[in-house]
Amino acid sequence: MKKLLFLYLGTLLFFIACKKETTEVTLNPNAAITLKVNELYSKYGKSNDAVYNQPIPNDLFSSGLKKALENAINASKEDIEKVKKSDHPDEKPLIFEGAIFSSLYEGYTHYEIQSVKVNGKTAVVPVKFEYDMSSPKLIWTDTIHLIESDKKWKIDNITFDTIGSAKDLKTVLKEFAQSTRE
């Protein structure tokens, strides 16, 4: 009888121990937004190769920004193929050059999130950048705009500093896609 009791008890404990815990960790908005901005610059900050060689993640960019990125990338890839098949395959196709997620063409050597300002389902994050590979070093601030979608924060646009020539990321992507079709 004791053996049977231990067998049942052991089996019950085994199944309890094997039960998966599906606890969802919920970060406060500031922490979640900070993680998104850091993910953007760790994944795409130093090179545009990542934009061409990886699928655009659903959980990093809003659907509108993701669509704009995909349209621009597809337009660039189409132009690359068009040039390859043209009478002048040595011409340079339209490709992303420079750091597309930063005001400065050369990119940055360091960045620092200045603050996180949440207003309902939107957030604004000024990010201070530094480029110290020139003299004098360059310092500027771009502003990341995020939206909350499906209970997750996603990057919706970037307003560029006046150090560059572009106003914001969505405008740059739209103009780039249009220029490849002209």
pTM of the model: 0.79
SS3 at position 124: strand
- Report the alpha-carbon distance of residue 144 to residue 31 in Å, rounded: 15
Q: Please list the pLDDT of the chain residue by residue as tens digits (182 residues).
A: 545 444 444 554 555 555 544 444 577 999 999 999 999 999 887 667 777 777 888 899 999 999 999 998 888 888 777 777 777 667 765 666 778 899 988 889 999 999 999 999 999 999 999 999 988 999 999 999 999 998 899 999 999 998 877 899 999 899 888 886 66
Radius of gyration of the chain (CA): 23
Q: Is the peptide bond before 93 cis (omega within 30 degrees of 0)?
A: no
Do residues 48 and 99 lie in contact, with contact meaning Cβ atoms separated by under 8 Å? yes
